[in-house]
Amino acid sequence: MRHWTKIMVATDLSELSTAALEHARAFQETFHSSIHLVHVVDTTRVAPEFPFDRDRKLRLEMQEEEARDMMGRLAREHIPAARDLLIAVAYGDPAKEIIRYAEANGIEMIVMATHGRTGLAHHIIGSVAEKVVRHSTVPVFTVRPVKFHDAVTHAHDAVAGH
């Protein structure tokens, strides 16, 4: 059986990404792994002609601080025994930066949630998870979120006593 000692959880800080943390915690408990919780601030959505001025630098610093705070909160809630936890923020294209971080830090497995987009939304927005799966040199464990309909049905059944 493979023994992963360094696991990376790539998070976009959405509620959907917490499922990836739950799975990473299970891997950590099984393999006594360290977890690298990583968020990438997408800087590709800014027009290239937009100058890198002082205001933009301050906005990026604020985004990083907010991301670190949120990741700390997520870690406390979902990985309470986070013995070996490293929190990192990167900038750039999310898929490229996730792969770059994994390679630079000797990550042995990446865990990340997918948003489950299909059709036109998938083609327009693209899938960070899909790009990471295609280009990563290490295994990528993807967690698909519960669909809204399934969650509503489950909640209804629970309330109705089924």
* CATH number of the domain to which 11 belongs: 3.40.50.620
- Tell me how far apart the alpha carbons of residues 104 and 126 are, in angstroms, rounded to a whole number: 25
Phi, psi (degrees; rounded to nearest 5) at 88: -140, 150
Residue 147 lies in a domain: yes
Q: Is 41 helix (H, G, I), strand (E, B) or coil?
A: strand
Q: Where are the alpha helices (DSSP H) in the chain?
A: 18-31, 54-78, 94-104, 119-125, 128-135, 148-160
- Asked if residue 21 has pLDDT above 60, the reply is yes
Please, which residues have CB within 8 angstroms of residue 63's CB and are 6 or more apart in sequence?
Answer: 41
Residue 119 lies in a domain: yes
Q: Select the highest-mean-pLDDT range: 14-28, 44-58, 96-110, 125-139.
A: 96-110
Residue 14: pLDDT band (50, 70, 90) is confident
Residue 1 lies in a domain: no
pLDDT 10s digits, 95-145: 999 999 999 999 999 999 887 555 554 444 458 888 999 999 999 999 876
Residue 83 lies in a domain: yes
Q: How far is CA 78 from CA 90, 135, 142, in A?
A: 22, 28, 17
Strand partners, 9: 37, 111
Residue 109 sits in which domain range? 6-160
Average pLDDT, stretch 79-96?
A: 85
What's the whole-number average pLDDT of the chain? Answer: 80
The pLDDT value recorded for residue 122 is 47
Q: pTM for the whole thing?
A: 0.78
Would you tell me how many other CB atoms lie within 10 Å of the CB of residue 104?
9
Tokens 């990473």, residue located: 24
Residue 128 lies in a domain: yes
Residue 129 lies in a domain: yes
Residue 151: pLDDT band (50, 70, 90) is very low
- Which residue from 81, 67, 83 is spatially nearest to 10, judged by alpha carbons? 67
Number of compact structural domains in the chain: 1
